Amino acid sequence: MHEMSLTEGVVRILEQQAAQHNFTKVKTVWLEIGELSQVDPDSMAFCFDAVTRGSAVAAGARLEIIRVPGEGFCLDCAKAVHLASRVEGCPECGGFGLRVTQGGDMRVKELEVE
Protein backbone atom coordinates (compact mmCIF):
# COMPACT_ATOMS: atom_id res chain seq x y z
CA MET A 1 0.00 0.00 0.00
CA HIS A 2 1.85 3.08 -1.20
CA GLU A 3 -0.73 5.33 0.46
CA MET A 4 1.09 4.84 3.78
CA SER A 5 4.32 6.36 2.45
CA LEU A 6 2.33 9.11 0.69
CA THR A 7 0.59 9.93 3.96
CA GLU A 8 3.92 10.04 5.77
CA GLY A 9 5.05 12.55 3.14
CA VAL A 10 1.97 14.68 3.76
CA VAL A 11 2.73 14.72 7.49
CA ARG A 12 6.33 15.78 6.75
CA ILE A 13 4.92 18.65 4.68
CA LEU A 14 2.68 19.66 7.59
CA GLU A 15 5.61 19.61 10.00
CA GLN A 16 7.78 21.64 7.61
CA GLN A 17 5.02 24.21 7.15
CA ALA A 18 4.53 24.45 10.92
CA ALA A 19 8.21 25.22 11.39
CA GLN A 20 8.27 27.70 8.52
CA HIS A 21 5.06 29.55 9.44
CA ASN A 22 5.20 29.24 13.25
CA PHE A 23 2.03 27.31 14.01
CA THR A 24 1.81 24.47 16.47
CA LYS A 25 -1.29 22.50 15.50
CA VAL A 26 -3.02 21.46 12.30
CA LYS A 27 -6.77 21.20 12.76
CA THR A 28 -7.86 20.37 9.20
CA VAL A 29 -6.06 19.34 6.02
CA TRP A 30 -7.73 19.66 2.61
CA LEU A 31 -6.06 17.19 0.27
CA GLU A 32 -6.81 17.11 -3.45
CA ILE A 33 -6.56 13.63 -4.97
CA GLY A 34 -6.86 13.31 -8.71
CA GLU A 35 -8.87 10.53 -10.29
CA LEU A 36 -5.80 9.59 -12.38
CA SER A 37 -3.25 9.84 -9.56
CA GLN A 38 -3.28 6.12 -8.69
CA VAL A 39 -4.05 7.09 -5.06
CA ASP A 40 -7.00 5.51 -3.26
CA PRO A 41 -8.77 8.23 -1.22
CA ASP A 42 -10.21 5.73 1.27
CA SER A 43 -6.77 4.24 1.93
CA MET A 44 -5.34 7.75 2.39
CA ALA A 45 -8.01 8.52 4.99
CA PHE A 46 -7.25 5.29 6.86
CA CYS A 47 -3.49 5.89 6.73
CA PHE A 48 -3.86 9.54 7.76
CA ASP A 49 -5.48 8.54 11.06
CA ALA A 50 -2.69 6.05 11.77
CA VAL A 51 0.25 8.25 10.73
CA THR A 52 -0.86 11.46 12.45
CA ARG A 53 -1.16 9.78 15.85
CA GLY A 54 2.60 10.11 16.31
CA SER A 55 2.87 13.72 15.13
CA ALA A 56 2.96 16.62 17.59
CA VAL A 57 1.70 18.96 14.86
CA ALA A 58 -0.91 16.78 13.14
CA ALA A 59 -2.29 14.47 15.85
CA GLY A 60 -6.07 14.71 15.85
CA ALA A 61 -6.22 16.64 12.58
CA ARG A 62 -9.21 16.12 10.31
CA LEU A 63 -8.61 15.12 6.69
CA GLU A 64 -10.93 16.49 4.02
CA ILE A 65 -10.41 14.83 0.65
CA ILE A 66 -11.32 16.72 -2.50
CA ARG A 67 -11.66 14.36 -5.45
CA VAL A 68 -10.47 15.94 -8.69
CA PRO A 69 -11.91 14.42 -11.88
CA GLY A 70 -9.59 13.20 -14.60
CA GLU A 71 -9.55 15.36 -17.70
CA GLY A 72 -7.48 15.39 -20.82
CA PHE A 73 -7.11 16.71 -24.32
CA CYS A 74 -7.23 14.29 -27.24
CA LEU A 75 -4.69 15.15 -29.90
CA ASP A 76 -6.49 12.86 -32.35
CA CYS A 77 -9.95 14.47 -32.27
CA ALA A 78 -8.94 17.83 -30.69
CA LYS A 79 -11.49 17.58 -27.86
CA ALA A 80 -11.33 18.07 -24.11
CA VAL A 81 -12.57 14.82 -22.54
CA HIS A 82 -13.20 13.20 -19.17
CA LEU A 83 -10.60 10.50 -18.44
CA ALA A 84 -11.35 7.76 -15.95
CA SER A 85 -8.10 5.91 -16.67
CA ARG A 86 -4.65 6.57 -18.11
CA VAL A 87 -4.71 3.35 -20.13
CA GLU A 88 -7.99 3.65 -22.00
CA GLY A 89 -8.48 5.46 -25.28
CA CYS A 90 -10.34 8.69 -25.88
CA PRO A 91 -14.02 8.31 -24.96
CA GLU A 92 -14.92 10.32 -28.08
CA CYS A 93 -12.79 8.78 -30.85
CA GLY A 94 -10.94 5.85 -29.26
CA GLY A 95 -7.53 7.38 -30.02
CA PHE A 96 -4.58 7.18 -27.66
CA GLY A 97 -3.09 10.63 -28.30
CA LEU A 98 -4.22 11.87 -24.90
CA ARG A 99 -2.60 14.51 -22.74
CA VAL A 100 -3.75 14.66 -19.10
CA THR A 101 -4.77 18.19 -18.14
CA GLN A 102 -6.28 17.56 -14.69
CA GLY A 103 -6.61 14.86 -12.11
CA GLY A 104 -3.14 13.34 -12.25
CA ASP A 105 -1.84 14.86 -9.02
CA MET A 106 -2.24 14.80 -5.28
CA ARG A 107 -1.59 17.99 -3.32
CA VAL A 108 -2.21 19.68 0.00
CA LYS A 109 -4.62 22.42 -0.97
CA GLU A 110 -5.32 24.15 2.32
CA LEU A 111 -4.67 23.94 6.06
CA GLU A 112 -6.59 25.13 9.09
CA VAL A 113 -4.07 25.73 11.87
CA GLU A 114 -3.71 27.25 15.29
Set out the domains of the chain in order of their start, with CATH numbers: 3-69+104-113 (3.30.2320.50)
Nearest CA among 39, 41, 6, 11 for reference residue 26: 11
Q: What's the pLDDT tens digit per position in 65-106? A: 999 999 999 999 999 999 999 999 999 999 999 999 999 999
Q: What's the pLDDT tens digit per position in 2-39? A: 899 999 999 999 999 999 999 999 999 999 999 999 99
Task: Report yes or no on whether pTM surpasses 0.85.
Answer: yes
DSSP per-residue codes, the chain: -THHHHHHHHHHHHHHHHHHHT---EEEEEEEEETTSS--HHHHHHHHHHHHTT-TTTTT-EEEEEEEPPEEEETTTTEEEE-S-SSS--TTT----EEEEESS-EEEEEEEE-
